[in-house]
């Protein structure tokens, strides 16, 4: 397995990651029911970790926590082997961001998240700054609180399009 440094972090992650969307969302890439695929996904994630994969990207919104709970079932015994990145929708208020992160921690059965991403949907070019500033009491306030609390985990923004 090849590894690379993730951005400007000190995280040495596998070049191949494990995406959480198909675990929680029905018919994500092909026809199937996510909740009925739990055992297959758990087995696949164990095999991926055995081969050296160490980067898992997910979101609380994938099946309302279903994807994260499957990851949590695997990582509760293997947490030290993987970096977890999860996302929070950027349109949430401050209290909702806290609730979303708490829900992710519970589903993932862990007490920390390695990379926190804020998902920005349908937002491009110069509109990004305007978009972010419009949530000064949500995501921006949350980030400021993290700075005050000397939060040292990576934060990122993820842009998504419908196309």
Q: Is 83 a catalytic residue?
A: no
Write the class of the CATH domain 3-160: alpha beta
pLDDT for 48:
96
| For residues 18-33, average pLDDT | 80
| For residues 33-60, average pLDDT | 91
Question: Considering the entire predicted model, what is its pTM?
Answer: 0.74
What's the chain's length in residues?
Answer: 163
Segment 106-122, tens digit of pLDDT: 999 998 888 888 765 54
Segment 56-106, tens digit of pLDDT: 999 888 888 888 999 999 999 999 999 999 888 766 777 787 888 889 999
3-state secondary structure the chain: CCEEECCCCCCEEECCCEECHHHHCCCCCCCCCHHHHHHHHHHHHHHHHHCCCCEEECCCCCCCCHHHHHHHHHHCCCHHHCEEEEEEECCCCHHHHHHHHHHHHHHHCCCCCCEEEEEEECCCCCHHHHHHHCCCCCHHHHHHHHHHCCCCCCEEEEEECCC
Which sequence spans correspond to the domains of the chain? 3-160
Choose the catalytic residue: 32, 55, 62, 112. 62
Q: What is the C-alpha to C-alpha distance for residues 40 and 26, in angstroms, rounded to an integer?
A: 14
Segment 123-162, tens digit of pLDDT: 444 444 444 444 444 555 555 555 555 455 555 555 444 4
pLDDT for 125:
47
């Amino acid at each position: 397995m090849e590894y690379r440094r993730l951005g400007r972090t000190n995280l040495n992650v596998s070049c191949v990651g494990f995406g959480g969307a198909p675990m929680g969302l029905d018919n994500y890439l092909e026809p199937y029911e996510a909740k009925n695929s739990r055992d297959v996904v758990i087995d696949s994630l164990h095999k991926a970790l055995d081969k050296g994969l160490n980067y898992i990207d997910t979101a609380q919104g994938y099946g309302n926590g279903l994807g994260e709970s499957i990851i949590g079932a695997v990582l509760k015994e293997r947490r030290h082997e993987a970096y977890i990145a999860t996302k929070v929708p950027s349109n949430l208020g401050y209290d909702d961001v806290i609730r979303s992160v708490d829900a992710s921690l519970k589903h993932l059965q862990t007490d920390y998240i390695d990379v926190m991403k804020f998902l920005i949907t349908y937002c491009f070019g110069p509109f990004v700054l305007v978009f972010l500033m419009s949530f000064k009491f949500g995501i921006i306030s949350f980030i400021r609180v993290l700075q005050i609390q000397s939060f040292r985990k990576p934060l990122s923004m993820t842009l998504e399009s419908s196309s």
